[in-house]
């Protein structure tokens, strides 16, 4: 007698195919790294030094803008970030 479940659930995220040149990947990786540095500076140093710190309305605006760049705009090919994270292209001819 078969004791396997009738339905097998598979959890995960389906990703579209990504066709990106090595130069584009290097630029995306560099842009993401630079953005993360900027985010760290803003949230780790600038916001805490504002009058009122995280209670300052400017802190909320900065955080919202950073989030918008990351999630809403698709900047740095964010939707393909899993491909970019797995790719080690950093210094490719034509990229900085």
Does any domain span residue 1?
no
pTM: 0.59
**pLDDT surpasses 90 at 42:** yes
- Are 89 and 25 in contact by the 8 Å Cβ rule? The answer is yes
**pLDDT surpasses 70 at 91:** no
Please give the average per-residue pLDDT across 11-23, as a whole number.
Answer: 71
Domain count, the chain: 1
Residue 25 has a pLDDT of 76
Expressed as residue numbers, the domain containing 69 is 22-86
Does any domain span residue 93?
no
Instruction: Give the model's confidence band at 96: pLDDT under 50 very low, under 70 low, under 90 confident, else very high.
Output: very low
49-78: pLDDT as tens digits = 999 999 999 999 999 999 888 775 566 665
Q: How far apart are CA 58 and CA 64, in angstroms?
A: 10
Does any domain span residue 14?
no
């Amino acid at each position: 007698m078969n004791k396997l479940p009738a339905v097998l659930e598979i959890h995960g995220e389906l990703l579209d195919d990504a066709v990106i040149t090595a130069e584009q990947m290097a630029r995306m990786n560099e842009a993401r790294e630079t953005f993360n540095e900027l985010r760290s500076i803003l949230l780790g140093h600038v916001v805490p030094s504002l009058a009122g710190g995280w209670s300052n309305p400017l802190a909320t605006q900065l955080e919202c803008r950073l989030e918008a760049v990351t999630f809403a705009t698709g900047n740095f090919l964010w939707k393909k970030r899993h491909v970019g994270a797995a790719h080690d292209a950093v210094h490719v001819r034509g990229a900085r």
